[in-house]
Structure formats: structure tokens, C-alpha cells
């Protein structure tokens, strides 16, 4: 087979453009970038400014233009690098200094921003934009100073206000956002704090401050195990993060102490449980939700130890920390019932029933309302000095003792005031016996029903008739002295 000759076609030598040609091409790219910038197509503008820079990397205005484009894309750190390169190439480039200052300010570096704006004013003393931006930088510095002072005073609401104002000038400053988020967490505004921290973590998943704030929110919401995970992660990213270290230590200590208290309570070691809950409450006063639970737990233990007033105080402290804490209201209401403070018990049960309209809560409220109603009547058991479970014989014995003690004849030699008081007590003793010695009336009285509905008007009866009927016997009765200050009852 005959061989075939093949001509090899070589690629033409690449043409090397001279500086003048490169400059013309770069200028063309810049003009195209300007056109896209005017149309607000900043991504394409960025691409053409980059081509201009690649063609002519020593031109300050190209870096300045690309910096302006990056600022419109909110890529301030990259914009800052371009603006700084622009003024390195041309120290008299006013727009370059302005853009560098604006980037510094947007990132929260107000002092650096001031230096840039002052440089502009050295070049152009009447530059109104630099004058205004200098005032903005000073405002940010003032808000920073106020926030630092207010944070030390624990006026977290004021810090949030200062950071909101500062962020109007420095919208991408992570430092300001983190401080705001931390204060929102300390104010109990956890969803807002979580949102701010999450926004930062979406941009920078290794941000130790944002991880710390996420953990702080979980910690304050009593999700301690998850909180510890975030604190550990924050320390992994920033080993010297002291706030994360302290919060992690507190979280672990709080969990351990609370669990010890719970175990002691379950084991019936109430004194030990009380002390453990007390120790846990000292660990971190800022952890509102966990401390509310600790106060309520200690209140429960207090009621077991018959420290009822202390239990009420602990439940009140729990409610101050968390106004929605139903368990604390229920525990305090029971303590109020145990100490016959029925109005307070009704108030707490009403709060509970308004929040959770369950059958159980309705019964508790009705019971407290009934006890309150009963407490406003005369307590016939107290009048006779007997327990509510007293037997018929005990009621009779009590009446005999009290009737003889307060009978008017026994106090005939006393002052008119004493005679009047004893006569009143004698009548009350008769009322009490009339009701408690009659099973039907007693049942109505115990159930809280009005005795007048049963046809009994307690103001119409004669206590002496009850006394006569009870003691009976021929010839009546009289009190005679058996010595100074001594009397005995005698039938005639």
C-alpha cells in the first residue's frame, strides 16, 4: 500500500498584546462593567471589572469599581481588599478611601473607618460624604461605648437598643450581632437570639461566638445536654472562649446537682434533697427556667418537711421567674389550702384553670371556692374546740364544757363588757351544738350549703333553751360560788 503524505497543521503562535493594547482592552471591559452596574446587574459587572483588572492589574480605578460592585453584593470583606489595593496603587484616590472607610464601617471597624474618612478630608476638606460618614463612625463608637457600659450593669435591654442603632451603620458586623443575640438570650428572648446566631452560622459554621449563643439559648431553655454540645463545639473552634467554658461548666454542674436532688427526693431523703436543690440554685442565677424548676422542686420538698411558708415562698419565686409555670401555681395553691388561705388558693387555681381548662383543674377550683365560702361563715368546730371528724359524744362533751364556761350566770359579777362578750360566746356555743348535733344540719354545713335554706334562722333561737334541754333535770339550775373565783354548776 502506498504511503500517504500528511501535512501537519501547526497552531498559530499566540499573539502577545502590548501594554497599550491591554490598556485599551481593559478600558473596554471597564465600560462594559459600568453598563451592567448601571443596570444593577452586579454579578456581570463584577465579572467585567475582574477582566479589566486581569488585563491591567495596576489600575486603581478598576479595583475601586469592583469594590463598589462587591459592596452592592454585600461582600464587604472582599470589597475591603479591593478598596485597600486601590489606595495602595493611588493614595490620592478619594473614592478608594471612601469605599475602604465604608467597608470598615459596615464591618463594624469604626476606628479604621474614621482614619479613612479623615484621609479623604485631608485630600478634599469640603467632601460632604466623608463629613457625614465620619459622623456615622463616631456614632457607632459611641453606641459601642454605651453598650459596653450597659452590659456591665446587666442592662441587656439597653445593649440591644445600642446594637440595633449601631447595626444601622454596620449591617454586616458579626460582633454587634453576637452581642445583641447574647443579650436577647439573657433577656429570655430565645427565638430572636437563635435566629441571629443561626444567620451567622449559615455564613460561617465555625463561628465560636455564634455557637456559644446557640448553646446559651438551649441552656436557658433547660435543654442542658444539647447546650453542652454547642459549648463544646464552640470551645473546639475557639479554645480560649471563656464565656463558653464557664457556661459549659455551669451547665454540667447544674444538671448533676439537680439530678442528685431528684434522686434524694425519690429515695425519701427530703432534708438532703432540700439542701441539694438549695446548692443548685446558687450555681447560676441567670438560668431562669431551670431555677424556676429548682424552686418548685424545693417547694415540694418543703411541703413534705412541713415548711409550708417556705414552700409558698419557693413557689412564688418560681412563678416570678416563669409566670407560665402551672406546676408552681398548683403547688402553691395546695399550700394555701393547707394553711386555710383560701382566697389566695382560689386566685391560683383560677390562673391554672384559665390556662388549662381540664376537669381536674375545675374540681380543684370548685373545692377551693367552696372552702373559701365556708371560711367566711362561723366555724362551729372552732367554737366548740373540736376536730371536723369529731364523734357525737365528743361534740356533746365539748358543748357541756363550753356552755358551762360561757354561761351568763357564771359571769354575773364581771364588768358589763365581759358579760356582753361571754353572752355572745354562750350563744355561739349553742348555735354550734344545734348544727353539729343534728346529722342533717351538720351535713349541709359541712358541704357549704346555707343553713337558712333549710328553714333554720340562727338569729331566732334562744341559747338558754338549748342549755336547759341539754342539761335538763327538775328544779332548774344555778351557779354558786365555792370559794374566791370558783364556781360549780348545781341542779335545784
Quick: pLDDT tens for 281-316.
Answer: 999 988 989 999 999 999 999 999 999 999 999 999
CA 260 to chain centroid = 25
Instruction: Annotate 98-155 with DSSP letters as a single string.
Output: HHHHHHHHHTT-HHHHHHHHHHHHHH-TT-HHHHHHHHHHHHHHHHHHHHHHHHHTT-
What pLDDT does residue 124 have?
A: 97
In this prediction, residues 347-363 reach a mean pLDDT of 95
151-198 pLDDT per residue, tens? 999 999 999 999 999 999 999 999 999 999 999 999 989 999 999 999
Indicate the SS3 state at residue 489: strand
User: Which residues are within 8 A (CB) of 151 and not within 5 positions of it... i.e. 6 or more apart?
Assistant: 159, 179, 183
First-residue to last-residue Cα distance in the chain: 166
Q: For the packed helices 326-338 and 288-304, what is the interaxial angle rounded to 10 degrees?
A: 30
Closest residue by Cα to residue 85 from 108, 69, 62 = 62
What global pTM score does this model have?
Answer: 0.67
101-122 pLDDT per residue, tens? 999 999 999 999 999 999 999 9
Burial class (CB in 10 A: 0-12, 13-18, 19+), 450: exposed
What pLDDT does residue 158 have?
A: 97
Burial class (CB in 10 A: 0-12, 13-18, 19+), 423: middle
What pLDDT does residue 450 have?
A: 67
What pLDDT does residue 486 have?
A: 45
In this prediction, residues 216-228 reach a mean pLDDT of 93
Residue whose cell numbers read 365581759? 418
DSSP-assigned letter for residue 93: -
What pLDDT does residue 213 have?
A: 96
How many other CB atoms sit within 10 Å of the CB of residue 223?
Answer: 17
- For the cut 60, the answer to whether the pLDDT of residue 423 exceeds it is yes
377-421 pLDDT per residue, tens? 788 888 888 888 888 888 888 888 888 888 888 888 888 888 888
Q: For the packed helices 342-355 and 359-375, what is the interaxial angle rounded to 10 degrees?
A: 160
User: Which residues are within 8 A (CB) of 58 and not within 5 positions of it... i.e. 6 or more apart?
Assistant: 89
450 contacts 443 by C-beta, under 8 angstroms = no
Phi and psi, residue 363, nearest 5°: -65, -45
Confidence of residue 3 (pLDDT cuts 50, 70, 90): very low
In this prediction, residues 328-332 reach a mean pLDDT of 97
Amino acid at each position: 500500500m502506498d504511503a500517504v503524505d500528511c501535512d501537519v497543521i501547526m497552531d498559530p503562535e499566540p499573539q502577545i498584546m502590548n501594554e497599550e493594547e491591554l490598556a485599551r482592552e481593559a478600558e473596554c471591559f471597564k465600560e462594559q462593567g459600568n453598563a451592567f452596574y448601571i443596570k444593577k446587574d452586579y454579578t456581570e459587572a463584577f465579572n467585567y471589572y475582574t477582566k479589566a483588572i486581569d488585563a491591567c492589574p495596576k489600575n486603581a480605578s478598576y479595583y475601586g469599581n469592583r469594590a463598589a460592585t462587591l459592596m452592592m453584593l454585600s461582600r464587604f470583606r472582599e470589597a475591603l481588599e479591593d478598596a485597600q489595593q486601590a489606595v495602595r496603587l493611588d493614595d490620592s484616590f478619594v473614592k478608594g478611601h471612601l469605599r475602604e472607610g465604608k467597608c470598615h464601617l459596615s464591618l463594624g471597624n469604626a476606628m479604621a473607618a474614621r482614619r479613612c474618612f479623615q484621609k479623604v478630608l485631608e485630600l478634599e476638606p469640603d467632601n460632604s460624604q466623608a463629613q457625614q460618614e465620619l459622623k456615622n463612625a463616631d456614632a457607632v463608637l459611641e453606641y459601642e461605648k454605651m453598650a459596653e457600659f450597659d452590659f456591665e450593669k446587666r442592662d441587656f435591654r439597653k445593649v440591644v437598643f445600642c446594637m440595633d442603632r449601631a447595626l444601622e451603620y454596620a449591617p454586616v458586623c458579626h460582633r454587634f450581632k453576637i452581642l445583641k443575640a447574647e443579650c436577647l438570650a439573657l433577656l429570655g428572648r430565645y427565638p430572636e437570639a437563635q435566629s441571629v446566631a443561626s444567620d451567622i452560622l449559615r455564613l460561617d459554621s465555625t463561628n465560636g461566638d455564634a455557637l456559644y449563643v446557640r448553646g446559651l439559648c438551649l441552656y436557658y431553655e433547660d435543654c442542658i445536654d444539647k447546650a453542652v454540645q454547642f459549648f463544646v463545639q464552640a470551645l473546639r473552634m475557639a479554645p480560649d472562649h471563656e464565656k463558653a467554658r464557664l457556661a459549659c461548666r455551669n451547665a454540667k454542674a447544674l444538671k448533676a446537682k439537680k439530678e442528685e436532688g431528684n434522686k434524694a427526693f425519690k429515695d425519701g431523703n427530703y432534708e438532703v434533697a432540700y439542701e441539694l436543690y438549695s446548692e443548685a440554685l446558687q450555681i447560676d442565677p441567670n438560668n431562669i427556667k431551670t431555677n424556676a424548676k429548682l424552686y418548685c422542686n424545693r417547694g415540694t420538698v418543703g411541703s413534705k418537711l412541713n415548711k409550708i411558708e417556705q414552700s409558698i415562698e419557693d413557689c412564688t419565686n418560681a412563678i416570678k421567674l416563669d409566670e407560665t409555670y402551672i406546676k408552681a401555681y398548683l403547688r402553691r395553691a395546695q399550700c394555701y389550702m393547707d394553711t386555710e388561705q383560701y382566697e389566695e388558693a382560689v386566685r391560683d387555681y383560677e390562673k391554672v384553670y384559665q390556662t388549662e381548662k381540664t376537669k381536674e383543674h375545675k374540681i380543684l377550683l370548685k373545692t377551693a371556692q367552696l372552702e373559701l365560702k365556708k371560711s367566711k361563715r362561723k366555724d362551729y368546730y372552732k367554737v366548740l374546740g373540736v376536730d371536723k371528724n369529731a364523734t357525737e359524744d365528743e361534740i356533746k362533751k365539748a358543748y357541756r364544757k363550753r356552755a358551762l364556761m360561757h354561761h351568763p350566770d357564771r359571769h354575773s359579777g364581771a364588768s358589763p363588757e365581759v358579760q356582753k362578750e361571754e353572752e355572745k360566746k354562750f350563744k355561739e356555743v349553742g348555735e354550734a351544738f344545734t348544727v353539729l348535733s343534728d346529722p342533717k344540719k351538720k351535713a349541709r354545713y359541712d358541704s357549704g350549703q346555707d343553713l337558712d335554706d333549710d328553714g333554720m334562722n340562727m338569729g331566732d333561737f334562744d341559747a338558754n333553751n338549748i342549755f336547759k334541754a341539754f342539761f335538763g333535770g327538775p328544779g332548774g339550775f344555778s351557779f354558786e360560788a365555792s370559794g374566791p373565783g370558783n364556781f360549780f354548776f348545781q341542779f335545784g
